[in-house]
Structure 1
Amino acid sequence: MITKFFDIVLGTKRASKIGILGKVKGWYAAIEAQIRGSLHGHLLIWIDDAPASPLDMKEQMNSDPEFKQKLAAWYDDIICQSFPKDTVSYKVTEGTPKQLPVLSRPLDPDAPDYKQKRDQHHRDLCENTGLVHGHNATCFKHIPRHIQSLVNPDTDCRFQLPRPLVAETHFDDDDDLVIRCENGSLNGHNPTATLCLGCNTDLKQTASGSAAMAMVEYMGNYTIKLQLDTAIVFSALCASIKALQNKPPQDVDGKVDNSEMTRLMMVKTTNTLVGKRELTGQQTVSLLLGRKNNYTSDEYQEYWWSSM
């Protein structure tokens, strides 16, 4: 599915190379397993012909008002923070089994009432896939317990939700982007992507600079992170130290080789962690089917621990 999403929805295999976000220059997708086991992806997407940096973008906006207007219109077109008009909140008909929108059949685009049903289905998906934020303990976990009784959910949420309502997408006096928002608890998303995938599809604009670097590191961690308890990590480290203390590596003169000991410490600890890595059933099946844990438009040099 993820390759089809890139090929068709993002347009990378179309003749025009244009998809729902415009012309895509490159992408990187990391596949992660949630606590309950299901797999989902985190994607970084680079748009072709985008300004090289936020500074370049601001200079172009200041020198070309038409570019600034078109840029705001583009953001308004691809990022949605509002429910479709003339739709109602999702509800289950009394006396019938609950049918989650994510499990329903695709709508018939040739049906005369397709647009109305599509808009309602869009809202149903938003309300059933986690796109609408609801406060929980995670929102206030950094607030000391002895003052949590004084928490105001709408002002103290660490995710800063609900966000203020905004009538139209624009750039403020500091040239910072402000996306149109008619529902402060609805995460930014692309309706087409949400309808195609039928799942949570948060979408966020990330320019260059420190914010982009942090996002790349965050994404990289999803690719390489090990789902291990802290106790297992420390036990692996202790086992490596004990093994090297009992039989330290020696050089040709019979002295302890500290450089080799450091290398073996890394190798032994890593091997132990890899051996104890917890894989979900979905991850295991995905690997057996030859699926990747990351997808990218570019090729990278593989690195093997055995080369250390």
Structure 2
Amino acid sequence: MSENPAAAAKCFNFLVNIFIKHILGVESDHEGFYGKTSAYYATVEQQGRLSLHLHALVWVDGALSPQEIRDRIVNNDHIFETKLVEYLQARCQGEFMTGTFQTVFDKFGTSENTINNVREDPTLTLPAPPPVSCNNRHDCSVSDCENCQALRHWHMAFRETVDAILLKSNMHGCRSSFFGCMNKYGECTARFPRDVFPETVVDRTDGRIELRKREPMMNTFSTLLTYVLRCNLDVTCILTGTAVKALVAYITDYISKAGLNTHHVFKAAYDVLIK
């Protein structure tokens, strides 16, 4: 990016456009991963390292308001509660897919990762599409069905790839350097470690939901996005009106956000010249 920031910006724009079309389902022949997208709003931020990233809000068509969700949970609508938790956990999680941090680190914490006996860096490769599934994949009685075996093999590689990417890009490590996260009081400005919840907790007295999250140093994410984008993510389902207002204000603020401080500008220019 330091050698050709214009090419990096074009690549970023391409990725964002295919994300909106294929993942959110906008102007596409299918619904999005989170449901039918009724609206989206996103702003772009540049870091001091010249890389671009997106802050986005997505509205799902037909979604209930936070107050309506709260009312149905408080009124003991158990079917609704079960379906809602099932939906949220399928699209937002905060733990590895194949084991604990230590288990995943022991397997992928080296300079080279082995996924399905292939040594590769998953952040530098393209995702492999799933194989053609069996026509009776939900009720296949053929024990050696090649399609079903190929799909099981792909699912295993999918889970391992997601975990390898998470370990490499989604785990926070507090640093006290110039670009670190520790303030003068020894506190992490990125608010790590986060609270953990071994299992999803639903408080039926006030409708509050705490989704299962077992890794304190990891952002919540969507497995599909991690697999196809292969980078650090932070995906959160917003379940309170206060959080909605705060995030709208936070993201909108990037339109009028001031430029980098002078010393950051010179540091970025220095890095470019050195590279």
TM-score norm. by structure 2 comes to 0.69
Q: What SS does the corresponding residue of 1:45 show, helix, strand or coil?
A: strand
Q: Which residues of structure 2 form unaligned runs of 5+?
A: 1-14, 114-118, 132-148, 270-275
Kept in 1, the 8 Å contact 2:126–2:228? The answer is: no
Residue 36 of structure 2 corresponds to 23
Partner-residue secondary structure (3-state), 1:203:
coil
Q: How does 1:55-204 map to 2 (within 5 A)?
A: 55-63=67-75, 64-85=77-98, 88-89=104-105, 90=108, 91-93=110-112, 100-107=121-128, 109-110=130-131, 112=150, 113-129=153-169, 131-137=170-176, 138-141=180-183, 143=185, 148=186, 157-172=188-203, 173-204=205-236
The 3 A distance-change label for structure 1 pair 176 and 228 is same
Greater shift, 42-51 or 56-65, is seen at 56-65
Cα deviation per residue 1:5-28 (whole Å; 9 max; x = unaligned)?
111112223334x22111221101
d(CA) in 2 for partners of 1:223 and 1:211?
20
Distance 2:46 2:182 in 1: 25
Question: How far apart are 1:3 and its partner, in Å?
Answer: 1.8
> Structure 1 residues 228 and 157, CA, compared in 2 at 3 Å: closer, same or farther?
closer
**TM-superposed deviation, 1:103:** 1.2
With normalisation by structure 1, the TM-score equals 0.62
Q: Which amino acid aligns with 1:71?
A: L
Which amino acid is the alignment partner of residue 107 of structure 1? A
Is the contact made by 2:122 and 2:164 (CA closer than 8 Å) also made in structure 1? yes
Q: RMSD of aligned C-alpha atoms?
A: 2.9
Q: CA distance change for structure 1 residues 184 and 55 in 2, over 3 Å: closer, same or farther? A: same
Note closer, same or farther for the CA distance 1:230–1:210 as it changes in structure 2 (3 Å cut). farther
Partner of 2:135: none
Percent identical residues: 26
Helix, strand or coil at the partner of 2:127: coil
Identify if the C-alpha distance between structure 1 residues 228 and 33 changes in structure 2 by more than 3 Å, giving closer, same or farther: closer
Aligned-partner residue type, residue 130 of structure 2: P
Counterpart secondary structure, 1:210: helix
Q: What SS class does the counterpart of residue 212 from structure 1 fall into? A: helix
User: Aligned with 1:42: secondary structure?
Assistant: strand
Q: Which structure has the bigger radius of gyration? A: 1
CA 1:170–1:73 in structure 2 vs 1: closer, same or farther (change >3 Å)? farther
Q: 1:221 aligns with which of 239, 243, 253?
A: 253
Please tell me the residue identity of whatever aligns with 1:73: E
SS in 2 for 1:28: strand
Q: 1:105 to 1:176 in 2, by over 3 A?
A: same
Q: Give the deviation of 1:43 after TM superposition.
A: 0.7
- Judging changes above 3 Å, is the alpha-carbon distance between structure 1 residues 7 and 80 closer, same or farther for their aligned structure 2 residues? same
The residue type equivalent to 1:195 in the other structure is: Y
Is 1:48 equivalent to 2:61 in the alignment? yes
Give the aligned partner of residue 134 of structure 2.
Answer: none
- Cα offset, 1:88, TM superposition: 2.8
Residues 72 and 170, structure 1, Cα contact 8 Å, conserved in 2: no
CA–CA distance in structure 2, aligned partners of residues 142 and 48 of structure 1: 44
Distance of 2:225 and 2:54 partners within structure 1: 13
Q: Helix, strand or coil for the counterpart of 2:36?
A: strand
Which residue is equivalent to 1:11? 25
Q: Separation in 1 of the partners of 2:260 and 2:111?
A: 39
Q: 1:184 to 1:103 in 2, by over 3 A?
A: same
Instruction: Provide the C-alpha distance between the structure 1 equivalents of 2:129 and 2:62, rounded to a whole number of angstroms.
Output: 36
Is the contact between residue 123 and residue 231 of structure 2 (CA under 8 Å) also seen in structure 1?
yes
SS of corresponding position for 1:181: coil
| One-letter identity of the residue aligned with 2:78 | P
SS at match of 2:104: coil
Offset from partner CA, 1:79-120 (integer Å, 9 cap, x none): 0111112673222249xxx96422123225339332222211
- Shift of the 200–93 alpha-carbon distance from structure 1 to 2, 3 Å rule, reads closer
